[in-house]
Structure 1
Amino acid sequence: MDKIKENREFFKANFDILKSIKTDKQKGIAAPSFQKKYDLNADLIELPPLSKDILTKPNVFDCIKDRRSIRKYSHEKISLSELSYLLWATQGIESVKDKFSALRTVPSAGCTHPFETYLIINNVIDLNSGIYRYLPLEHKLLFIKNLDNIEDKINKATPNQPFAQDFVSKSAVVFAWSCIPYRSEHRFSITAHKKILIDIGHVCQNLYISSESLNCGTCAIGIYDQDIIDNMLDLDGENEFVIYMACVGKKL
């Protein structure tokens, strides 16, 4: 089978395969945590409470109609309240079902939610430039590290953009969603990976719509250097790796 045909087969529904497979969930193996562990002694950054008052375009019809991929941004900083809202809109937890699963603002196959949200902060009020991770259970930010020459590092991680080279580094914040595949593999075994790709699309679309409601522009990033971005975020590239990225900034 040639590679294109093989990849096309991956697109197709394959749920029947599970009839002949005993998943780790069926074996009674405990599910992984829905949030990656962190140092409990770390200083966490409080995110402002959610408020509809920050919305400049609260009508969802208008947001869907006006949504576009935006690659040019002003120098205006994004506020911490706006970032808080964008994080909630894309991975916010609405309720915890049990210690292994939680209901969020986006759907996920089997409520597995195999993603972590990393932020490369460049132009956000009251936040130093650097790398952060969103903790949805606490709705707080975990500071990971400073990043020298941040624009240069972002450009190297997102090369060969087809429409506007190096536009990502001009944004206020870059969302880098990592995937921890086992969260989904535990329940769906070898059928998990198609579902993971579908799920991350839900996440990014919520970023588009919520950004539009703030008069911010966003652009999904499908072209990135896997090794560079995984190393930048201190990911092992096997059990956790970046699966999708998007940047957000104030519109010109």
Structure 2
Amino acid sequence: MKINREVLKSNFPQVESSETDQGKGLPQPPLQKPYSGEASIIDLPPVDGEVIQNGDIYSCFKERRSLRKYTEDSMSLEELAYLLWATQGVDKVVGKRNFATFRPVPSGGARHAFETYLAINRVEGLEKGIYRYLHKDHQLVLVQSGDFLDKVAAAAEEQKFIANAAVVFIWSCFPARCEWRYSVAAPKLILLDAGHVCQNLYLSCQSIGWGTCAVASYDQEKMDELIQVDGQEEFTVYLAPVGKKQ
């Protein structure tokens, strides 16, 4: 327990006294996970705010609650595109050799260590399956087709309400993206950034009449297997089902 608590403390002096990969002049990990040239790619509609039903930020904060009961409504592709942009979309790539990205969600040193996977259940125009959001290009890539909501719920310690969602956001992380600059301080920053991402999902859901519930309890190996990641260089860190409010 004591060792685990150390992750929560600031250890930036250790970073300053150590030699990071950035300090060594080594190239940074890619800002976006590569994909096969034969993969099925879906273009997402541009985000312009037209899907927003409640633009009052005060009421979005005040009314935000974790939601576990959903209707059978399907989500539009425009609504999904908005939620993806709000949580991991890229507004601008800056610096030489695509050094960093500016996004609606903050990240320590603009490292953005996450990839967004989606277990699609009811989204208009999309077949059921596991997808990954290509944040630099505002596209989806199909990972595998099929109905996976029951398996996601089972991997999340049998939290049955997850299976009723229209879509489940599953965030993985590439620690190397953050370690490249922050070495031993990377775990603390990644944990903080995960909170930033999910809070943006809560508020963006609230603004369009949908709801979500953050989930941190899951079987690591099962969830990693579902989104087809290696569990070492990339692994699941957080998930959140999204559904229409009853």
TM-score range relative to shorter protein = over 0.9
Query: Secondary structure in 1 aligned to 2:62?
Result: helix
**Counterpart for residue 194 of structure 1:** 188
48, 51, 54: which is aligned to 2:48? 51
Shift of 1:222: 0.8
Query: In structure 2, what is the equivalent of residue 108 of structure 1?
Result: 107
User: How far, CA to CA, are the matches of 2:210 and 2:188 in structure 1?
Assistant: 30
Structure 2's unaligned 5+ residue stretches are: none
Q: For 1:69, give the aligned amino acid.
A: S
Residue 32 of structure 1: aligned partner = 29
Percent of matched pairs sharing the same residue: 48
Is residue 2:75 matched to residue 1:78?
A: yes
* CA RMSD, Structure 1 to Structure 2 (Å): 1.1
Q: Deviation of residue 64 (structure 1)?
A: 0.7
For residues 122 and 172 of structure 1, what CA distance do their matches in structure 2 show?
A: 5
> Structure 1: how far apart are the matches of 2:167 and 2:64?
18
1:100 CA drift (Å) = 3.1
Query: What amino acid is the match of 2:110?
Result: C
**3-state SS of paired residue (1:19):** helix
Displaced runs of 4 or more, over 4 A: none
Deviations 1:78-117 (A, max 9, x none): 1100000000000010100132321111111111110000
Answer yes or no: is the 8 Å Cα contact 2:68–2:212 preserved in 1.
yes
Equivalent in the alignment of 2:119: 120
Deviates more, 1:234-243 or 1:91-100: 91-100
Q: How does 1:1-252 map to 2 (within 5 A)?
A: 4-98=1-95, 99-148=98-147, 150-160=148-158, 165-252=159-246
What is the TM-score normalised by the length of structure 1?
A: 0.94
Task: Give the secondary-structure state (helix, strand or coil) at the position aligned to 2:50.
Answer: helix
The one-character-per-residue Cα deviations of 1:35-67 (angstroms, maximum 9, x if unpaired) are: 000123433111111122211111111111100
**Length, aligned pairs only:** 244
Stretches of structure 1 lacking an aligned partner (at least 5 in a row) = none
User: 1:8: Cα distance to partner?
Assistant: 2.0
